[in-house]
């Protein structure tokens, strides 16, 4: 047996959803650089689910379907009220998404049509859940989704109860485009492993949310902001980063399993961080981030990943730190569900092996004689 720790370099499936080839990320053959500038998040969702960019009628239909399905059942809202107010927001999302299945009559219907409908409901309802809990924990009433609003606009509206400005909507929309899919990343793999047992889509997405939460994956964006806040000021950056690297500690938001010459999404987020910093008259987080990047890249050769500049982007949008990873999930759910649909289409149980390295030839002795 040859063990490949972390499955590095192992090709575990074929997929036509997205690819990373020579450092270039594509969704269904479209370069992320092209999509980031020229497509909205809903167009990308259509692309991931149906394999093509929508025409106007198809996009209108998707908008209508997402809008019509954005309200979450009262039972799930009541559950959100019962969760501890200080619960981790990813744990809340994981639990609430699991609960959605209990109130969806089609939860166990494995037909293609029902699975597409569930993908729509999941995409439509994740933002509603995240925004509702964010308000409930502050003692505020959840805000019902706005009809005919796109995902980014609706999320910001449900979070604040106010009409968001155009700049914020566009920035969030672009962040959602950039996070929507990423080949066989850890959370997508978790989703595919779960549904490859022919378990249902809600179970797959619940597994994925659990995997995304970890700080080595989507949870890194929150850790980046925690680091920036801990450093506090430009004057402290040098000593802080030097100490971390001297102690062989990881700097969150740097490094990647697949990209070794930089994550193509990071430059878009860096630009957004700069522009939003200028617009909000607060360049502090951006400038500190640039200094950290100079040091980490200079000393370790590690480049920022998608999570690094998204921290200062979301902060400029006045989004609380512990919603950064849920926002990642709001976007990645489109990729998860596209992969789940693809897994069902050509399924085989995913069941690798482990090389056993524990004790052998053990014999059961009566309990009274055991140490
Ligand atoms: N800071 C400092 N050193 C690092 C970092 C980092 N962020 N990332 C990797 N290294 C070092 C490791 O310490 C290791 O050094 P060594 O060989 O001297 O022991 C070497 O680079 C290889 O690192 P691994 O952790 O083995 O690389 P792996 O491919 O397993 O991990 C990962 C990739 C998890 C992304 C890693 O780079 C990391 O932990 N980064 C910080 C967390 C992060 O930003 N995660 C988000 C990734 S993007 C996403 O999931 C959305």
The answer to whether 183 and 7 have CB atoms below 8 angstroms apart is no
CA distance linking residue 289 with residue 309, whole number of Å: 7
On whether both 160 and 253 belong to a single domain, the answer is no
Q: In degrees to the nearest 10, what's the CA dihedral of 44, 45, 46, 50?
A: 110
**Is the shortest distance between the CB of 195 and ligand 1 below 6 Å?**
no
Nearest 5°: phi and psi at 252? -65, 145
Which helix (DSSP H) or strand (DSSP E) does residue 284 occupy? helix 284-300
The answer to whether residue 338 is domain-embedded is yes
Q: What are the beta bridge partners of residue 25?
A: 20
The answer to whether 272 and 171 have CB atoms below 8 angstroms apart is yes
The answer to whether 300 and 274 have CB atoms below 8 angstroms apart is no
**Is the shortest distance between the CB of 219 and ligand 1 below 6 Å?**
no
On whether both 158 and 262 belong to a single domain, the answer is no
On whether both 73 and 194 belong to a single domain, the answer is yes
Q: Which ligand 1 atom lies nearest to the CA of residue 255?
A: 37
* CATH number of the domain that residue 277 is part of: 1.10.230.10
Q: Lowest-confidence range among 123-127, 182-186, 259-263?
A: 259-263
What is the pLDDT, as a whole number, of residue 127? 98
The answer to whether 155 and 131 have CB atoms below 8 angstroms apart is yes
The answer to whether residue 235 is domain-embedded is yes
**Is the shortest distance between the CB of 251 and ligand 1 below 6 Å?**
yes
List the residue whose alpha carbon is closest to atom 19 of ligand 1.
248
Q: What are the beta bridge partners of residue 27?
A: 18, 30
* Ligand 1 mutation pick, 244, 255, 259, max ligand atoms within 8 A of CB: 255
Pull the structure tokens for residue 19: 């690819």
Q: Radius of gyration (Cα) for the chain, nearest Å?
A: 22
The answer to whether residue 288 is domain-embedded is yes
Which helix (DSSP H) or strand (DSSP E) does residue 19 occupy? strand 18-21
The answer to whether residue 228 is domain-embedded is yes
On whether both 100 and 236 belong to a single domain, the answer is no
On whether both 130 and 41 belong to a single domain, the answer is yes
The answer to whether residue 148 is domain-embedded is yes
The CB-side HSE value for 181 (13 A sphere, CA atoms) comes to 32
The answer to whether 90 and 129 have CB atoms below 8 angstroms apart is no
On whether both 88 and 191 belong to a single domain, the answer is yes
Ligand 1 centroid vs 203 CA: distance in angstroms?
Answer: 28
What is the count of structural domains for the chain?
2
Those residues whose C-beta lies under 8 Å from the C-beta of residue 7, and which sit 6 or more positions away, are 352
Pull the structure tokens for residue 368: 């009274």
pLDDT tens by residue, 125-178:
999 999 999 999 999 999 999 999 999 999 999 999 999 999 999 999 999 999
**Is the shortest distance between the CB of 263 and ligand 1 below 6 Å?**
no
Which helix (DSSP H) or strand (DSSP E) does residue 18 occupy? strand 18-21
Ligand 1 centroid vs 39 CA: distance in angstroms?
Answer: 31
pLDDT tens by residue, 88-136:
999 999 999 999 999 999 999 999 999 999 999 999 999 999 999 999 9
Mean pLDDT of 333-350: 98
On whether both 112 and 190 belong to a single domain, the answer is yes
DSSP characters for 57-90?
A: HHHHHHHHHHHHT-SPPHHHHHHHHHS-TTS-HH
Ligand 1 centroid vs 345 CA: distance in angstroms?
Answer: 33
Question: What is the distance in angstroms between the CA of the first residue and the CA of the last residue of the chain?
Answer: 34
Ligand 1 centroid vs 289 CA: distance in angstroms?
Answer: 18
Domain residues for the domain of 243 are 220-316
Which strands make up the sheet holding 30-31, listed edge to edge?
18-21, 24-27, 30-31
Q: Which ligand 1 atom lies nearest to the CA of residue 257?
A: 29
List the residue whose alpha carbon is closest to atom 27 of ligand 1.
257
CA distance linking residue 251 with residue 287, whole number of Å: 17
Q: Is the pTM of this model over 0.85?
A: yes
Which stretches within the chain are classed as H helix? 32-38, 41-50, 56-68, 74-82, 89-102, 112-136, 151-160, 166-179, 186-195, 201-212, 220-231, 234-246, 266-279, 284-300, 306-316, 324-345
What is the pLDDT, as a whole number, of residue 299? 96
The answer to whether residue 355 is domain-embedded is no
323: pLDDT confidence band, cut at 50, 70 and 90?
very high
On whether both 82 and 193 belong to a single domain, the answer is yes
* CATH number of the domain that residue 151 is part of: 1.10.580.10
CB atoms within 10 A of CB 207: 22
On whether both 280 and 335 belong to a single domain, the answer is no
Ligand 1 centroid vs 183 CA: distance in angstroms?
Answer: 18
The answer to whether residue 122 is domain-embedded is yes
pLDDT above 90: residue 272? yes
On whether both 236 and 335 belong to a single domain, the answer is no
Which residues have a catalytic role annotated?
Answer: 256, 307
On whether both 186 and 69 belong to a single domain, the answer is yes
Which helix (DSSP H) or strand (DSSP E) does residue 27 occupy? strand 24-27
Report helix, strand or coil for 138: coil
The answer to whether residue 158 is domain-embedded is yes
On whether both 63 and 187 belong to a single domain, the answer is yes
């Amino acid at each position: 047996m040859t063990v490949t720790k972390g499955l590095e370099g192992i090709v575990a499936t074929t997929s036509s959803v997205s690819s990373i080839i020579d450092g270039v990320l594509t969704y269904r053959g479209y370069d992320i650089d092209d999509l980031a500038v020229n497509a909205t998040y809903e167009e990308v969702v259509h692309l991931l689910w149906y394999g093509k960019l929508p025409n106007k009628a198809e996009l209108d239909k998707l908008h209508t379907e997402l809008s019509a399905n954005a309200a979450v059942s009262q039972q799930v809202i009541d559950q959100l009220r019962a969760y501890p107010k200080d619960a981790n927001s990813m744990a809340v999302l994981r639990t609430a998404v699991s609960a959605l299945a209990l109130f969806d009559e089609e939860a166990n219907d494995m037909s293609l049509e029902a699975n597409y409908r569930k993908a729509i409901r999941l995409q439509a309802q994740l933002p509603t859940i995240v925004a509702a809990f964010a308000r409930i924990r502050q003692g505020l009433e959840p805000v019902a989704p706005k009809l005919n609003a796109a995902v980014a606009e609706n999320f910001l509206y449900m979070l604040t109860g106010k009409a968001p400005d155009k700049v914020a909507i566009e920035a969030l929309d672009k962040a959602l485009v950039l996070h929507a899919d990423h080949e066989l990343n850890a959370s997508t793999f978790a989703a595919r492993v779960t549904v490859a047992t022919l378990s249902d889509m809600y179970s797959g997405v619940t597994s994925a949310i659990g995997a995304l939460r970890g700080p080595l994956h989507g949870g890194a964006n929150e850790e980046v902001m925690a680091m920036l806040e801990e450093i506090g000021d430009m004057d402290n950056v040098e000593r802080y980063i030097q100490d971390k690297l001297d102690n062989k500690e990881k700097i969150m938001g740097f490094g990647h399993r697949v990209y070794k010459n930089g994550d193509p999404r990071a430059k878009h987020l860096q630009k957004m961080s700069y522009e939003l910093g200028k617009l909000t008259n607060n360049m502090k987080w951006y400038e500190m981030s640039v200094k950290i990047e100079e040091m980490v890249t200079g000393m370790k050769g590690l480049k920022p990943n998608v999570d690094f500049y998204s921290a200062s982007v979301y902060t400029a949008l006045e989004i609380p730190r512990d919603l950064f990873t849920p926002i990642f999930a709001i976007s990645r759910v489109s990729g998860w569900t596209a992969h789940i649909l693809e897994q069902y289409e050509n399924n085989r149980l995913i069941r690798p092996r482990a090389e056993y390295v524990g004790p052998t030839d053990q014999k059961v002795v009566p309990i009274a004689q055991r140490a």
